[in-house]
Structure 1
Amino acid sequence: MANEGTGALVRVVSEEEGTILTEWLGLLKSGGALQTGRIREAELQTQAKTVLGQLRDALASGGSNADLEAYATLRDTLGEISRSRAIQGFTPTDTANFVLSLKEPIFSSLSRSHANDAKTLAAAILSTSHLLDQLSLHTMEVFLQSREDVIGRQGQEIAELSTPVVRLWDGILALPLIGTLDSARTGVVMENLLQAIVDEEAEIAIIDITGVPTVDTLVAQHLLKAIAAARLMGADCIISGIRPQIAQTMVHLGVELNVVSKATLADAFALALRRTGRTVVRKQPVSPSAS
């Protein structure tokens, strides 16, 4: 019975490919595939025509099991479509619907061609459903993995952008931290800080944590790692921006940074200037009459 269903499916897709493609595209358009503006109609038509043609060829040579080698080309094509849609910002529903919406046109064609053969029709519908479900699952797996990759890259880029190292003076750097410190971000912080110390030949690095919402034992450990790495490069560190609430939390937790700390970045900068033998002097403004 399964072989009869697969045979019927192969014949219908081969003989009514044009009708199925037209109905499929109509369903995709009515389902809002073009409303987001992420894909053009010509591209959607090309994708649908390619997928349906490869499905026809795979059915003719490999039956209705999407795991077979005959479906390798089709799986690759669906994978490329899924990856591009993940980058373009399509939703999982939109991506899954691209394959699942093909069921209705094929079911309609099967119903027309086997209206008087209930057993063959049922077997063919079952084979179609099983095959397209397999392909849809493959599509979603690739889509989700691609979206995770995109999110991972974006997170890394944001982490790099959110840890700028600023040159305050000759030999004095500032690293303003915003957000929570975790292991991955600590690695980015250390890499940026150490590279800046080498490039600027810095003597002192000020790590400002005004934008860090909370400091617990784990965050303190990450800070100490960055400080230790900077010291190995020959630069002393100063912590600034410890707010009263954070100071109380650190005392309750018994967290010790074992490094000089200042309440504000300005205080830390003044200390750094003194340590490097510099002073800031306020000059009296010259009155217009004196000139």
Structure 2
Amino acid sequence: MSHGDEHDYGEPTGTRVRLPEGDPYGGARRPARSSSRSLVTVVGVVVLLIAAIAFANRGGDDTPTGTATDGTGNRPKTSTTAATGTKPVDGKSAGIPTGYARTEQGAQSSAANYAVTLGSTGMFKKDSRHSIVGTVYTAEAADRLLAPMDQAYSTGFLAKLGLDAEGNAPEGNTFVSRVVPVGTTVQTYADTTAKVAVWYLGLIGMSGEKSTDPVTTSWKTWTFDLRWTDGDWKITTDEQTDGPAPVPGDDQAAASDEISKAIEEYGGFTYAR
């Protein structure tokens, strides 16, 4: 979702995606993804499938040396797996988590949550897009970016994604656009500035029985230049690069109704470093 002046608004290069035999949504064979690929370059909005990490307690004699136990020698103490760090955010502005700590950790938390917001379906509707941009960017950056963004999210562009002029999906369809941060790293940090990279998984596409552009995944790294402004971290500039992408698995693609149900039932998170 890098929207800076330096970004190319032309057609992007191709991205390979794995599909099952036949259209997973039951329609005709899916055409080339020029629309979603255009999204990556035109507005940098690429979005997401969550990777889940499960932590299992290890019992018996295979407890690693130095691991704290509950006294029985079978399980780690609760403290060994407890969450650490400060609370990621104090409140919200226009529904967006804001109020981060003036620390490296706070900068990373803000970058992760801003990536999620900028990768959401709200960016495809003018009113919510203006609210998002005005909240996560500095005033100077927002003034510079709003007009180019409105041009990028044109009626023609929205139509290529199957959306109407207001950014709404057709009845019976669910438009999916999510960013799921996998990790963050601080590249530079000072008292009032920070440069933070967010590695994320993106979900983008239209879920519906007649959709020819089913939801697919992509991997990106989104780098934000942040400035401490008015008591919070704000974006001054940002850019995206491809990958690093892991080797795709052999998971069977879900049917459109399963994807739509999952999008409706599974909400997002407020991310913290």
Same fold (TM over 0.5): no
Q: Which has the higher contact order (CA 8 A, sep 6+)?
A: 2
TM-score category of the 2 structures, normalised to the smaller one: under 0.3
Rg (Cα) greater in structure = 1
TM-score, normalization: structure 1?
Answer: 0.22
Whose helix fraction is larger, Structure 1's or Structure 2's? 1
- Relative to its length, the structure with more strand (as a share) is 2
Report the TM-score when normalising by structure 2: 0.23
